[in-house]
A and B are shown apart, each in its own frame.
Chain A
Amino acid sequence: MKQKDPPISVALKQAMKSIRMRMLRQFATAFGVLLGIAFYASVRTSLALSESDPEAVEGAVKLRWLVFLSLLMCLVGITNAMLMSVTERYKEIGTFKCLGATNSFIVKVFFLEALLIGVLSSTAGAFLGFGIMVAVRVFTDGASSLSALGSGSLPILLSAIGIGTLITILAAILPAIQAARMPAAAALRVEV
């Protein structure tokens, strides 16, 4: 006989309990995501704002590099935060398996957790980075200078949220899959 997964609501409830009960830990993770994405969004925004500015064209190449670097920082920061939060929970994963959880149930819990944290913190980060750059610009050059942004703000925000969420999910789910596939005894033995 094969074990079937319980309804998705069981995994969702577990993910939400886990976020609620580990508020401090999850906040640290979310903050890492937020900062990375805020950095990325701010660099993209200031690049977009200066694109039509002839004096800044020279700096644009440098800024493109900065976008790349900000993405890299984002990746490292988020991966590190999520990896830690999964590794801390190997024992819990082992216990879940003893109680009859399938591998896919465990992965689902981590996926939903990362999805919730990823969407919330990347959205906050995207608006924060975007907002700061826009505010700085308004203060220095006046509101009219924002026209350079044109319709460019939506792609910046969406890409920041998308990238943040994607990296958060990948960083959580890869170690979770690995942990779920371990023999239960090995997962239970892990002490952090």
Chain B
Amino acid sequence: MEASRALESELIVRTRGVKKTYHLGDEVVHALRGVSLDVQRGEYVSIMGPSGSGKSTLFNMVGGLDKPTEGSVYINEVDIAQLSPPELAYLRNRTIGYIFQTFNLIQVRTALENVTLPMLFAGLSADEADEKGFLLLESVGLGERLHHRPTELSGGQQQRVAIARALANDPAIILADEPTGNLDLKTGKEIIDLLRKLNEEMGVTIISATHDLKMLDVSDRIVYVRDGEIAKIETRAELDLQIGEVEGIGEEKW
């Protein structure tokens, strides 16, 4: 039943047999060994996996940050391997918002200037960008810290700026790579709640690579990646039955 519903609704991200091989000297590393994954518009998908499992590589492929060695990634049914660099920049600018474990704010820009940057790239005037940037920062609870630089903000505040920045051009997809990885428990929970709110209220598709178990609660689906392959996919309904058990045993269970 789940599968037939997936076919009917619009798929925003589709990967087909994605393989990625790195060469480290003479050694060949198979980061991904053929991953096929569908993500529906408006879904909240968590990609879980221990470090080295290939989940960050998968994240990079889906985000158009790297190209697969084999296989294809489709975003809105466009094969991103076929895009020229300016077309790829356009896609990153308007369709995808990125959130990183290390926040990746531009250090020399203030909170507001970080949020306005993608809008300036999209051709908005400085005034339009400032106005929208202010509203976005206010909506993530940072209306008072517009002109602070990243070094003057706490980790949680920096991640909120990053979320506001990711939303700058109303993207269809937000990609979050370990968004809570550098945050304490309470702040991490706040960031997760914020992402969930965006997902529910604005219908943004969220794809998050994580090994934070708190993420399980809010995800529609969890994709477990291991050794460069999808080990299993759990839907929320299946998960509700098991959640206590998973939390009890910890992430190494699977």
Please report A residues at the B interface, Cβ cutoff 8 Å: 1-4, 6, 10, 14, 17-18, 20-22, 91-92, 94-103, 105, 183-186, 188
Contact = CB atoms under 8 A, between A and B. Distances in A.
Interface stretch (B44-52, B115-123, B232-240): B115-123
B109 A184 contact: no
Given A98-B92, A99-B121, A18 B108 contact: yes
Contacts of B60: 185
B108 A100 contact: no
Given A3-B86, A188-B65, A99 B165 contact: yes
A2 B65 contact: no
B107 interface: yes
| Nearest 3 CB-CB pairings of A with B | A100-B93, A3-B89, A185-B66
B213 to A, nearest CB: 26
A100 B118 contact: yes
A91 B87 CA distance: 21
Contacts of B123: 4, 6
A20 B89 CA distance: 28
A99 B118 contact: yes
A177 to B, nearest CB: 12
Interface in B85-113: 85-87, 89-90, 92-94, 98, 100, 104-109, 113
A122 B108 CA distance: 25
A104 to B, nearest CB: 9
12 contacts: A2-B89, A3-B86, A18-B108, A22-B108, A100-B92, A100-B118, A100-B122, A102-B89, A103-B85, A183-B65, A183-B66, A188-B100
B67 interface: yes
Given A6-B120, A97-B92, A105-B121, 4 more contacts: A3-B93, A98-B92, A100-B90, A100-B94
A98 B121 contact: no
B104 A2 contact: no
A18 B93 CA distance: 22
B105 to A, nearest CB: 8
Nearest to B108: A21
A183 B65 CA distance: 6
Given A6-B120, A17-B108, A22-B108, A183 B67 contact: yes
B84 interface: yes
